[in-house]
Structure 1
Amino acid sequence: MADQQAPPAGPDLSLGIALTEFTGATLLGHVGDEEILLARSGPEIFAVDAHCSHYHGPLAEGLVDGETVRCPWHHACFDLRTGEAIRAPALNPIAVWKVEHEGARIFVRQKIEQPKPRVRGVVDAPGRIVIVGGGAAGFAAAEMLRRQGYSGGIVMLSSEAAAPVDRPNLSKDYLAGSAPEDWLPLRPEDFYADTAIDLRLNAEVVSIDSKAKAVVLAGGAAVAYDRLLLATGAEPVRLPIPGADLPHVHVLRSLADCRAIIASANGARRAVVIGASFIGLEAAAALRARDIEVHVVGLEQRPMERVLGTAMGDFVRALHEEHGVIFHLGDTVTLIDGKRATLKSGAVIEADVVVVGVGVRPRLALAEKAGLAIDHGVAVSAYLETSVPGIYAAGDIARWPDSHSGENIRVEHWVVAERQGQTAARNMLGRREVFDAVPFFWSQHYDVPINYVGHAEKWDEIAVEGDVAARDCLLRYKSGGRVLAVASIYRDLASLEAELAMEKAKG
């Protein structure tokens, strides 16, 4: 018998509900087959689609703050009045429904035409904006420029062969074989032409002439700009060992990298993953989903301990071992000879595919050559502007003054890069908007998601609520009694509340 789709949850809002039935901040209901979220903000009640436009997260389990609702999965945020996705990682709006009051009952019967985003208007409209980079920050900036009503020229120069894709999926579902490739593009192919974004792929920028306000491409062609955004991202660290250039040895950053790993994995019996951090272990989980024996080799004594601490590191190792991953920690690969990987300890592992996930380096050469101030990244102001007026930086290369930690920080998170791209876009239009978003990332290991908000490079205490081993926990990373970051497993609402608390405590 074929599987039948579960009926939509909650009351039928087209039949109405009594106001006395809606006592909390949210209520999940439906109209026909479509699930609807009722959300209360002060005296007003809003109705919107019940699922996040990013990965379909359940907004009814999220957090209402003013006239916004935040997704519990990956902390996207939506305007309840307009449906606009006002915070990445969601980029598409959610539908808005009409709420009707009849006596002491409320009814939801129909969608309204998608409201326009709340835009303050362009303060300063440059003739042309050039974006160097085709990743999270670059794409989010280009999309936000058009969303803000900017009608000038946008040229997006990407060194990659593919239009911007959902990079987190490359180490998760797509690599595991559970997500089709047509899920990956951040926008359909015709989006760029339809919005007059001049996307140029395989475009290598070799220099910036800040006096002439132009970037120079390989081959000598120059592209003039009035404002410039550097979003060059990071590149994977490659191991300086014999055999690192063999065809079955891969790094994982681009769609081309991921396709190459999948091709090597087809028919493979055993894989070696070098690196026991987030990318390495996500890749290990994905390869296990393809029924490949996986060996993880890492210099650290405990996976992810530097970022997540001892308890979470032990849990992550045990989780992967439950799924058959074999660890070789405190060790490294010194030689790859054909299909044989030799470890420093002397052990030899036969491997049909090798994935190197030992970190990334920010691509700073272009900024350095242009004379921009460098401080373990491209130094930017609170407005994401570099030391050269009119040139902005966002994403993995940007080192910004973080109002939460009180330090200058640079992080390599997808969501941070998108949010910085969005803020940089508004600032290139003259807004002078401080970038003060709390850093957020998520990591997926089999069916276990780990969410992390804030930024803690070091701490003197980890306060654990719940049970890490039972996959129900929230960890607060503290320094001098102050919470710098929070990691959680299946404590989604508490994670959102921690994020909001950090936002309110900034400065």
Structure 2
Amino acid sequence: MTRVVIIGAGHAGGTAAALLRQYGHEGPIILAGEEPAAPYQRPPLSKSWLKGEADLEALLLRPESFYAEHGIELRTGVTATAVDAAARTVTFADGTIEPYDALILATGSTARRLAIPGADRAGLLELRTLADAERLKAALGPGRRLAIVGGGYVGLEAAASARALGAEVVVIERMGRVLARVASETLSAFFTAWHRREGVEILTGAEVSAFEDAGVRLADGRVIEVDAVLVGVGALACDQLARAAGLACENGVVVDETARTSDPAIRAIGDMTFRPVPTHGGHRHRLESVPNALEQAKQAAAAIVGRAAPTPEVPWFWSDQYDLKLQIAGLPDGADRQLVRGDPDVIGEGASFAVFHLAGDRILCVEAVNAPAEFMAGRMMIGKATPVDAAKLVDPSVSMKQVAVG
């Protein structure tokens, strides 16, 4: 029987283990993770968990009893230290050596560190794990002041949650706008206006030069005095094991459409991978999202059991901030124009709009705020490469169902 070892018990690894059983795998499965908890959802850490609206049971992907009931050996609080690809073994920090016939790497990503004075201070916060979220939650509350370094999605979600808990918040972004690397200017302007409306101070074009006792020092000499600092400036793939094992790596572990690495016995899934996206010309991307983790878990599990490969999916992402639901489908690379449906200048009740990124008459990406119909139709049209009538697309009186049929 094929013996499967999965390193990383997050969303990707936990899902892959469950799918292997669902797809009929009867051999041993070992699921090993560094954290003490069973596989859990990470997106709520910056939202419902931080605000105290969810407990651990609500975060778990599956009840802890699920793993034993399905013959999955779950090992928590263990660290894999080496993969011997030739011998097909994994060595753990406690000295245990586990052989495998098929190995799945699902080690995720780690927070990027700033190379500035004070970056190693013990009091700095990040938000990658349950333990991180607990430390951040303890630092918040009425009268507390939080600096968030980095205006990406996690930073803005944390800002919204911190405001809900009564804390004062200042977001410090070195680029000229928040979400500069991941969203259109229209979306950036909308979220900047909304956060400011909610009392968040947003500083753009602000370079952090040091972390000090008083707070955050900027390159222009200003010191932002705060009680706590959350650093969220991106993430790096946890590919150290893969590199040491001789696997091809480039902005993460290089994999194919079946999550196979350069070693046919090893697959890699989730945030750590540099993968082709078939719906966008097969170009490689490192996608940090739950849908990506789930899709690659399906790919790996199907390949191991000899099942037909799943249909390629359009990448999609989401972010919840205040009463706003942002849903994004597709990737904007290669777009030559943007079209807006709805009014992004409505900052308040009734806010709803979508930004479509097009190449010719094809939609490549849609960013939808409180606009589920635009998101769903856009995602479908991206997947099918459906030509779109631009005049109909920007006319809210034409339903998205009509737009989608051409």
Q: TM-score, normalised by structure 1?
A: 0.72
For residues 33 and 110 of structure 2, what CA distance do their matches in structure 1 show? 14
CA contact (8 A) 1:423 1:435 kept: no
* Deviation of the 1:290 alpha carbon: 0.7
CA contact (8 A) 1:372 1:386 kept: yes
For residues 435 and 244 of structure 1, what CA distance do their matches in structure 2 show? 43
Matches within 5 A, 1:168-187: 168-187=43-62
Is the alpha carbon distance of 1:182 and 1:504 closer, same or farther for their aligned partners in structure 2, counting shifts above 3 Å? Answer: same
> Structure 1: 5+ residue runs without aligned partners?
1-125
CA contact (8 A) 2:337 2:358 kept: yes
CA contact (8 A) 2:146 2:167 kept: yes
* Deviation of the 1:462 alpha carbon: 1.1
Give a deviation string over 1:404-437, Cα, whole Å, max 9, x none.
2111222111221122112211111112415611
User: Secondary structure in 2 aligned to 1:477?
Assistant: strand
Match of 2:317 among 433, 441, 465: 441
Matches within 5 A, 1:296-315: 296-315=171-190
Moved more, 337-346 or 409-418: 337-346
Letter in 1 for 2:17: A
Q: Which runs of 4+ in 1 moved over 6 A?
A: none
* Deviation of the 1:324 alpha carbon: 0.3
Matches within 5 A, 1:382-397: 382-397=257-272
In the alignment, structure 1 residue 473 sits paired with structure 2 residue 349: no
For residues 357 and 339 of structure 1, what CA distance do their matches in structure 2 show? 19
> Structure 2: 5+ residue runs without aligned partners?
387-406
Is the alpha carbon distance of 1:245 and 1:435 closer, same or farther for their aligned partners in structure 2, counting shifts above 3 Å? Answer: farther
Is the alpha carbon distance of 1:268 and 1:336 closer, same or farther for their aligned partners in structure 2, counting shifts above 3 Å? Answer: farther
User: Secondary structure in 1 aligned to 2:139?
Assistant: helix
* Deviation of the 1:400 alpha carbon: 2.1
Letter in 1 for 2:11: A
Matches within 5 A, 1:240-279: 240-266=115-141, 269-279=144-154
Is the alpha carbon distance of 1:263 and 1:298 closer, same or farther for their aligned partners in structure 2, counting shifts above 3 Å? Answer: same
Moved more, 275-284 or 192-201: 192-201
For residues 359 and 176 of structure 1, what CA distance do their matches in structure 2 show? 23
Residue 340 of structure 1: aligned partner = 215
Is the alpha carbon distance of 1:221 and 1:255 closer, same or farther for their aligned partners in structure 2, counting shifts above 3 Å? Answer: same
Moved more, 484-493 or 288-297: 484-493
User: Secondary structure in 2 aligned to 1:176?
Assistant: coil
Match of 1:484 among 364, 368, 373: 364
Is the alpha carbon distance of 1:362 and 1:131 closer, same or farther for their aligned partners in structure 2, counting shifts above 3 Å? Answer: same
For residues 267 and 461 of structure 1, what CA distance do their matches in structure 2 show? 44
Residue 420 of structure 1: aligned partner = 296
* Deviation of the 1:449 alpha carbon: 0.8
Matches within 5 A, 1:69-84: none
User: Secondary structure in 2 aligned to 1:469?
Assistant: coil
For residues 157 and 458 of structure 1, what CA distance do their matches in structure 2 show? 39
Residue 75 of structure 1: aligned partner = none
CA contact (8 A) 1:382 1:435 kept: no
User: Secondary structure in 1 aligned to 2:314?
Assistant: coil
* Deviation of the 1:333 alpha carbon: 2.2
For residues 181 and 230 of structure 1, what CA distance do their matches in structure 2 show? 25
For residues 348 and 376 of structure 1, what CA distance do their matches in structure 2 show? 34
Give the helix-richer structure, 1 or 2: 2
For residues 438 and 417 of structure 1, what CA distance do their matches in structure 2 show? 13
User: Secondary structure in 2 aligned to 1:240?
Assistant: coil
Residue 70 of structure 1: aligned partner = none
| CA RMSD in angstroms, aligned pairs only | 1.7
Matches within 5 A, 1:186-205: 186-205=61-80
Larger Cα-atom Rg: 1
CA contact (8 A) 1:438 1:502 kept: yes
Q: TM-score, normalised by structure 2?
A: 0.89
For residues 454 and 297 of structure 1, what CA distance do their matches in structure 2 show? 28
Matches within 5 A, 1:39-438: 126-266=1-141, 269-406=144-281, 407-433=283-309, 436-438=312-314
Give a deviation string over 1:448-486, Cα, whole Å, max 9, x none.
010001112453211111112332112111234432111
Is the alpha carbon distance of 1:218 and 1:435 closer, same or farther for their aligned partners in structure 2, counting shifts above 3 Å? Answer: farther
Residue 61 of structure 1: aligned partner = none
CA contact (8 A) 1:140 1:419 kept: no
Moved more, 491-500 or 321-330: 491-500
For residues 376 and 241 of structure 1, what CA distance do their matches in structure 2 show? 23
CA contact (8 A) 1:384 1:435 kept: no
